[in-house]
Chains A and B, each alone.
Chain A
Amino acid sequence: MIGSRIGGRYDILRAIGDGGMSRVYLAHDAILNRDVAIKVLHYDFANEEELKRRFQREALSATSLTHPHIVDIFDVGEDGELHYLVMEYVEGQTLKQFIQSEGPLTPERALPIMQQLVSAISNAHHNGIVHRDIKPQNILMDAEGNVKITDFGIAMALSATAHTKTNSVIGTVHYLSPEQARGGMATKKSDIYSLGIVFYELLTGELPFSAETAVAIALKHLQEETPSVRAAFPSIPQSVENVILKATAKDASYRYRSADEMYDDLLTVLSPERVDEEKFSIPYDEDKTMAIPVIKDVPKFEEAESTKKIEPVVIEPPQAPKKKRKKWPIVAGIIGGIIALALLAILLISLLGPKQALVPDVSEMDEAEAISALEEEGFKVGERNEQTSDEIEAGKVIRTIPEAGKKREVGSSIMLYVSTGKEKFELLDYTGRSYETVKSTLNVYGFRSIEPDTQFSDEPEGTIIGQDPPGGTEVVPGETDLVFTVSKGKETRTLGNLVGYNENQLTDYAESTGFNISVVGHEHSDTVPAGQVISQVPDKGTAVEKGGRVQVIVSKGPEKKTVQLIVHRVTIPYEPDVSEPVDEEQDEEGNWQLPEPVPQQIKIYIQDRTRNLSDVYDEFTITESTSRQLKFELEEGQQGAFKITRDDEVIIEESVDYSDSN
């Protein structure tokens, strides 16, 4: 492994940690040129498709977490048979190692660590992610004493569907909440419980519940009160101990409602006003008797019963060597005790014959019915506990302890477990988060349906902008249809062709479409009349968000070009028809006079800005060569012309250029 490259980019440098089902390596990411930690799973996913998918889903959902006290997950990958997570490399030690070398800590030193941890978990909870396996082994501490939590949801994701037989590992149960020990679903409150246990360990350097086997520890989590940290360290303020007691309440409903609430409490826990705080105790509630000391008083008989049922004749080891008491104290004790007590019980029963009766099956009865059924058999009704149940409706009995069918002395008390209905799930307010992430997180809880209802909004596409039922609602997932209003981004419309629109039409169009239309310029146009749109950006046919900006250019009408007045002098020659005989005449004085000149008809045609050659510009007669000024109005670049006819014969035809003016 060391020296190899995985995923085409991670060069494995050395092993830095070892867990039950994984090994962590320091590696160098050749692409981003940085050190990373790579967790390689020792898992044979080959036969466990579902497990693999579950692992990948959990790991991917954890990649969405970004928090200064959460180890970043960069990548989830597989390389052949190898499955791995690429994570931020935190140089330092685990919190477990820190506690081993530095613990126990004073409250002043422990509090900053707890605040960092609780803020990280709070962030994860707000993102709908439950860690499920908080323990100091999963918390890294850098040289500055900053802590970062790792392995969100992953360990448990792997254990949950494994069919592989495993030796129970003690390390995994020390921080386990009672509900997890029972095999129930881990909730945010399970994380709060584990945080409470971590706080205990920081302050005492020890674990609150220890035993030789995993199940013995699990039983203590279920049955024993969290020990007092003040018993060993009286200098610890009551207010600090209360944080642990509240976080580790057996019944999750008495714990902090949220990591936020726990965080707030930690902020003030050492403040002078809280010096005289009372010890935390579970509020007395008639309807809700605590379920903690389950069968503590009768475990031996309980065991004796179940042993007898099986009826093995248990043979004492012949030499009865010194019992390895330290191994498995509870069970060894129980088994040892069982044999003795079973015999004793049988003896007592046969000698003294206290009356016994079978515990009736009162499950699914109403509570009152159940009580009378039990009393009919001569039993007393002992503690009453409430539990959620998927099968048994609220108010009906789930089970009893001892269980139905067990033989018990008449007059002994029977504990009732009454259903509070199906397990409720408190919805968070998911607005502002990615629908896909939230959905994949919530899928685990078995909601009847989770559907998106997409709407246009200013939020980026895929963001949750609303939910039904709202955050804070307690629901039964299997009976709940969750509907998230999900943004499909800003509303877009196809932009029409605005060319030719006048100001009023633009205003109407802007109102009806919601586009923000602005006139960004005016230009001349020979084709578009003044006041109408010449061009637009974006082009027609483009999808534009509601409120999106559309720029148009409006016509000023045709451009007025520079007009030159060009004066052209022309001489029109008078040329009489000489073939015509001239009648010479004498005048009255008898002088020979030249005959009167014959007038000639002249027509001038001009082509310029306003006139053209088909229109007569001037018409007159001449009797001698005549000079005329012709005035042309020419636009820039325009060519003018003129034509002069004399007696309908074209005598001059010329063009005049704009540039001729000079």
Chain B
Amino acid sequence: MQFEVLTDVGRKRKVNEDSAAVFTRSEGIILAVIADGMGGHRAGDYASSTAIKVIGEQFLELDATGFVDEQYWVEWLQETVNYVNRLLFNEANDNEELKGMGTTLEAALIRGSSCLVSHTGDSRVYAINENGIRQITKDHSYVNILLENGEITEEEAEAHPQRNWIMKAIGSEKTIEPDLYSIELKDQSYLLLCTDGLSNKVNQGTIQEIVLSNASLREKAKELIDLANQMGGEDNISVILIDSTKVEVDDL
């Protein structure tokens, strides 16, 4: 299992409100988290970095000895995300400067070939292999819901004035119900977590092409970010690229 984490402020912003990290436990379980914060001044930055830091601490300090099957991890992940949400929500309420802050959060918990994804907001998780690229998460965005309801088309969604509206964010409401996905990481496949700074700029076909190229993992991640910047770079761009190809190889 190899991974690469890159985050870039982009070409137009002064502050990087994205945060991303991968945490590894001794038993080989890893947690990849990516967050895109929002809120005035530095509140967005604070929201995303705090979310990543807290969830990482919880993960590393966890006593997982009793976790005999996936169900335990599912519960842990749900509870932890809820905990982060409450924490940020309370801070936002108590602190005038942090009022209105929130963050998207993608947390991918990988144990061997099984992967749990907790999803809130409009950052994305993709699974990529030779057969194609698959978007695992559904954006919690205003336009995506209109799109799913057949009220607007893909083209209308791309140009919609409210395309920056998200329907769920960690820390903006008292309780949160993230989406939870369980996926099987097949051999020779990649998992990509990214913020919308990438997905709004680079189409899936191109992402797949880059991820499946012969370059090193780091070069691929770098190329994704460079491409988003070439397309304007109006937003922060963050990428976590995980290569599961080596899973079996290393373990065997």
Contact = CB atoms under 8 A, between A and B. Distances in A.
Interface of A: 42, 46-47, 156, 159-160, 162-168, 181-184, 213-215, 218-219, 222-223, 294-295, 299, 302-303, 306-307, 310-315, 317-319, 324, 327-328, 331-332, 335, 398-399, 401-403
Given A168-B165, A312-B136, A312-B181, A214 B142 contact: yes
Lowest 7 A-B CB distances belong to which pairs?
Answer: A183-B160, A312-B181, A168-B165, A165-B38, A401-B150, A215-B145, A160-B161
A310 B149 contact: no
Among B13, B142, B151, the one with the most A-chain Cβ atoms within 10 Å of its Cβ is B151
B146 A181 contact: yes
Interface of B: 12-14, 36, 38, 40, 44, 71, 74-75, 78, 100, 102, 104, 116-117, 122, 134-138, 142-143, 145-146, 148-153, 156-157, 159-167, 169, 172-173, 175, 177, 179-183, 196, 234-235
Contacts of A312: 117, 136-137, 179, 181-183
Contacts of A181: 146, 151
Nearest to B184: A313
Question: Per DSSP, are chain A's interface residues mostly helix, strand or loop, or mixed?
Answer: mixed
B117 to A, nearest CB: 8
A142 B36 CA distance: 43
Nearest to A184: B156
B151 A310 contact: no
A220 to B, nearest CB: 11
18 contacts: A47-B13, A163-B234, A165-B36, A165-B104, A168-B162, A182-B160, A218-B142, A222-B149, A294-B151, A302-B148, A302-B149, A306-B148, A312-B136, A313-B183, A315-B181, A318-B78, A328-B167, A331-B145
Nearest to A415: B150
Contact of B151 (A182, A213, A311): A182
Given A167-B172, A312-B136, A403-B150, A182 B156 contact: yes
Contacts of B14: 46-47
Contact of A182 (B146, B164, B169, B177): B146
Given A47-B13, A165-B104, 12 more contacts: A166-B164, A167-B102, A167-B166, A167-B169, A168-B162, A168-B165, A181-B151, A219-B149, A223-B151, A294-B150, A318-B71, A328-B167
Contact of B75 (A159, A299, A318): A318
A413 B211 CA distance: 41
Contacts of A215: 142, 145-146, 165, 167
A313 B150 contact: no
Contact of B148 (A159, A165, A303, A317): A303
A324 B176 CA distance: 9
B122 A183 contact: no
A159 B166 contact: no
A113 B137 CA distance: 48
